[in-house]
Structure 1
Amino acid sequence: MIHEDGVQIKTEKSNITTMMEFILLGFSYSPNLQWILFGIFLVLYLTILMCNSVIVLITRIDPTLQTPMYFFLNHFSILEICYVTVTIPRMLMDLLSQKGHISFFTCAAQMCLVLLFGGLECLLLAVMAYHRYVAICNPLHYGLIMSPQVCVQLVTASWVSGVPVVIGQTWQVFSLPFCGSTTINHFFCDLPPVFKLACGDTFVNEIAVYVVAVVFIMVPFLLIVVSYGKIISNILKLRSARGRAKAFSTCSSHLTVVVLFYGTASTTYLQPKPNQSEETGKLISLFYTVLIPTLNPIIYTLRNKDITVALRKLLSKLST
């Protein structure tokens, strides 16, 4: 379907091509499924928006949810809305128009935001793991350590710390010379497929991407592992079986989200040159950009009695 070259400007003194436009192939290889895919992704996107908006609403207005745990969950839900909005609306537009033209600047902006929100999700998951560690392993000092000021500082640091790194990373990638094909075999401008269009020696750039991925994926992940190692050790020391079950239940939703997100994102970004095929990479990207954000609010609400009670209270107020 979409295989023609994008707009190009060639210099007279060089064979290197300055790209003014890329073409996202998306799911053009299955034209008969375009409308079905459009319907599925539209429903998933609206579900993500609705579920996360409800979580944001009830964690802000319900007095019983004005705690650090739900403060972090509130920001995590806001992040999920931003994260999916960077990719899914663009994918829906391409499925609807069956055209994948995207300008050089728009492609760079999309990649920058995807990397920013993805890195932020890693940091927020680490902050939430630290909160659970304090709550379970150091309950006597919980109020002092997790004061409102500290919570705001942790969230602000998570939002701000990745901005200069991601902007520098995106500039580094898009300052590379591009030549040959302008087609990106993906549904959004992601690092691996864009790298494949670059010509010349990209070894230094790939190492830089790998180092940043290690910092923003592996370092938070190690912090999460250490936190939960201490949490599990403390839980096992509890004499009450009911207490152990309650503590494990409190942590299970967060652990599920961590495993799902890190399991897919690390497969894509922790390899300087990914070995998986383009179609496999596209499928993995669907998991961490669409399917996991769909599951996250369900995981947090179904496993959390406070959220379900607050939601029932809200629905009863709306019905009356």
Structure 2
Amino acid sequence: MAKGGGPSKKTIEKEKKKTIEDKTFGLKNKNKSKVVQKQVQQVKNAVNQIHDKKAKKEAEEKEKKRMQKLLEKQREAELKSLFKSVDDKKKPEEEENQEEDDEEDEQDMFDQIEEELKNEEDMTIEEVVEVERSKIVGGTPVTFESFKKWKEFKNMQKVKEEEIKKKQQMESFKKSGAGLSGRDLFEYNQSLFVDDEEGDETVYVKPEDIDESLFVEEEEEQPESQDQGAPEEYDPATWKDPNKTPKTMLTDYQSTVLKLKPVDHAKFEQVSNTADGFVVKCVLTNLNKEFVTQIPYRQKKTAEHNAALMAYNHLMSLEKK
């Protein structure tokens, strides 16, 4: 085959040769007789002429088809260009028409809503609810029983999720080798945390956390206390009766006035011991009250006497009331 799609020259020559052989088949003395050679030459010329005309015709038809395709492509390109320009002109018009349609639809929607609102003004709440409910498509009607079952299911689901979460936390702690914090343990099992009924309910205060305004209040009340014969602070150097210390006064009052047994007498406990001194508290078990010295003292015994003095003054105030 030739590049253009038709038969090659070699093929054409073979066809010519075969045609000539077919036409001159049976002629005698082809190479000797001039008459025969003339006839053979005439056949050759006729065959060549026929084949040349055929080849020319095929070439012309091929060229005609090529030109026709070229014209069709050119016409198609022109039509596309023409339609494109028309479409470009139509787009703004279509967009404008679309905007107008959207505005009309929006206005229709507002008109419909306004009409519905006017109708609802003349309806009761129950009627409005029924109208709105009728607009809902599909769905499962909710009753008290169905809601109750749903609620129980959600609660069970929540409990299971919490149990799974706790197990995952415990497995995570086991794998990591780290211990549980107090908060983690409380969240895991709150029953482990039970208040001790016999636990110490005393609130301990550090000396540096004591409010200094309390001392001002004591100083303001001091004249009144002195008038009543109840000193506010014990100092061994200035105490008027060394044989009647605050601890002795408190013990005598509990024994003679309150008629308490020695086991129920006041108890003294050390709260702190710092570089500034001792802080001690006096506990009145019969009243379930505690009195903590508000300032530290260098001597523990001095701190105990001052705590006892606070307790004694309190008992005196109760007696006067």
| Alignment TM class, shorter chain as reference | under 0.3
| Structure with the bigger percentage of helix | 1
Q: Structure 1-normalised TM-score? A: 0.18
Q: Structure 2-normalised TM-score? A: 0.17
